[in-house]
A and B are shown apart, each in its own frame.
Chain A
């Protein structure tokens, strides 16, 4: 119905345009809340959620109680909600929309969906129309037709969709997050707000996870704490470690650092009624090394420091150097987050020989800075140059060291660089280059300052 018609019928009509992003965000937050009941929650866009409650319903007093609880809680929060439980995903999807509150035992889907209208098959409108024209008004009537007829008229995809609805074919659900390797949770009868209680809870949960991990000789590299607030808001905090860990003290310390450093503090509001701790990326973890192995202990302490700093400042801020196999000066090393930097077999290659002075600057500019340089001859070393408005007289110039760009990697050829190590009259040392070979690549080469020597 066009808006004008609707307005004619109801002049006081309030109109708002659809906001898909906000709807989606809302659906996501409802899904977060639903993780109360099961970790396997999938979005069924645009307006549905799928919960895999296999093995979870008994924790909440059976399927009926569970469904009733979800429905009443959501309607209390102001949502119009419909729900159903069935043995297959598509059947549950159809039942939730057309038989609110149905609970169907596995194997009885076909009988349950038979009276539903054909729209419940979720096919495109042309197909639904065609069914209606043919006098097939319910799913039961459609499924009574011969399959060969249906396939010939509507295609195999439609028949497959029908089978899924009848519970004859499975459709897997794709949960929002993978199932964590380990998880432990604590439900509070009375919502908690105090930070000490929260930290203590995390510590106890970490201890029970640590027990589970130790049983299988594993440690986790990622821990996620999920805080379920009483009013439905869910907050997640994750800490990562460089190596597999199951040490309670370490985990508790990392979470304390993480909580301390939050820009938007954990707002307990009316309190958290459920706190869950999940361990992910479990890896083999040998039992503690001997306390007399000084070297291993040192490594451990460093790893713990890195984890702590990463928890507080973010993993991308604590870095380490790794060599890179190229001769382009700015790419010869890469900085990687120290937590994830694996040991590298590529050796560092020194450029200077024995008894020689450094050939690469200690401080390198990520973006070489354009300078005004004067050279005696166009392809000779510079005599003086101006960098950041100060003039430097060159006293010693060593070079050139010619570095060609990697033509096999670049689309557009880049000019060759002639590097000079120069020392000015005050003893400061610079690394300059002329961009482009004079006369062969350019007639007016530009000069850049790339680094500073100690």
Chain B
């Protein structure tokens, strides 16, 4: 056993050298099974893709991106890049919303690019700045410029400085890329809807201390691609106070895997064709 694992470890290390990728640290998400799957957490200095699993899950996907940025960036700045028209479709990133999720808005830099091409160009430029904690590139649709070569360039730029990049692909089908991980995100129901409405109808002026049904942000995450580990499917909760993910409470309703979008299946088929490093 030991000989085999050693050999694998050696091969892995030599592959990493060939790739020119230094091993950057991994940041734990706080969710034990997800961390185990990711071998300790989300890889720093790599490209991670985040897709909303369905239409109208864009807000959940951006929430997940913010949460990951909080984990990875620690106290450093985060640069959020997006083309101009993204705000019309999905709304403007809100400073108070960031604050409520546990991210200090003063640490956020926002770049409004004219189009996807200049957003990518700026991302490459920004990835050369070691002082950044993470960058989030929000690209709506599937512009031609964002192809395998473009994602490869991003991966190399990330690896060189150790800055982590999150590619937030709104309104797009997953396509071939060189990313380290790919996440499909959908919003999860916070509680079974037992009489929640009835209670909420009553005036909320009763001191504001009463228990709310509305809980922390909940994500149903589908890790459909992981270059250095297994994939998985979890419902995880973001704790805004601690800046950590945690296991969602058992009351959460999880939709059956059967209703996952066709995209996930396509992705799995497509992945088989792609060469894998590990």
Contacts and interface: CB of A to CB of B under 8 A. Distances in A.
Contact of B118 (A304, A313, A338, A390): A313
Interface in B52-67: 55-60, 62-64, 66-67
Number of chain A interface residues as a range: 35 or more
B130 interface: yes
B256 interface: no
Contacts of B77: 302
Interface in B183-221: 186-191, 193, 196-197, 200-201, 204, 212-220
Contact of A312 (B96, B125, B187): B125
B126 A305 contact: yes
A363 B91 contact: yes
B100 A313 contact: no
B6 interface: no
A74 to B, nearest CB: 40
A377 B129 CA distance: 55
A308 B124 CA distance: 12
A398 B213 CA distance: 8
A356 B99 CA distance: 13
A396 B90 contact: no
A229 B239 CA distance: 61
Per DSSP, chain A at the interface is mixed
B191 A396 contact: yes
B91 A452 contact: yes
Interface string A350-393: 11101111111111111000000000110011010000001000
A298 interface: yes
Given A305-B129, A318-B109, A399-B200, A365 B122 contact: no
Given A317-B111, A396-B196, A454-B238, A308 B125 contact: yes
A38 to B, nearest CB: 39
A366 B187 contact: no
A384 to B, nearest CB: 11
Interface string B108-143: 111111100010001001100111100000000000
A395 to B, nearest CB: 4
Nearest to B61: A454
A426 B111 contact: no
Nearest to B190: A423
Contacts of A454: 59-60, 62-64, 66-67, 97, 101, 187, 217, 219, 238
A338 B112 CA distance: 12
Nearest to A454: B63
A355 B214 CA distance: 11
B150 interface: no
B128 to A, nearest CB: 8
Interface in B75-94: 76-77, 79, 87, 90-94
B241 A355 contact: yes
Interface stretch (A134-142, A182-190, A327-335): A327-335
Nearest to B212: A398
B197 to A, nearest CB: 6
B95 A338 contact: no
Interface string A305-325: 110110011000111111100
A3 B56 CA distance: 70
Contacts of A131: none
B243 interface: no
A11 B73 CA distance: 81
B241 A396 contact: no
A426 B189 contact: yes
A348 interface: yes
B110 to A, nearest CB: 4
Contacts of A451: 91, 94, 97
Contacts of A302: 77, 109, 129, 131-132
A298 B122 CA distance: 19
A98 interface: no
Contacts of B193: 395-396, 425
22 contacts: A302-B77, A312-B125, A317-B111, A318-B109, A323-B105, A352-B100, A359-B100, A363-B62, A366-B91, A396-B191, A396-B196, A398-B214, A400-B204, A427-B60, A427-B190, A427-B218, A429-B59, A451-B94, A453-B63, A453-B97, A454-B217, A454-B238
Interface of A: 297-299, 301-302, 304-306, 308-309, 312-313, 317-323, 329, 332-333, 335, 338, 344, 348, 350-352, 354-366, 376-377, 380-381, 383, 390, 394-401, 421, 423, 425-429, 451-454
Top 10 nearest A-B pairs (CB, nearest first) are: A454-B63, A363-B91, A333-B95, A452-B59, A358-B100, A362-B97, A301-B131, A364-B94, A321-B95, A427-B187
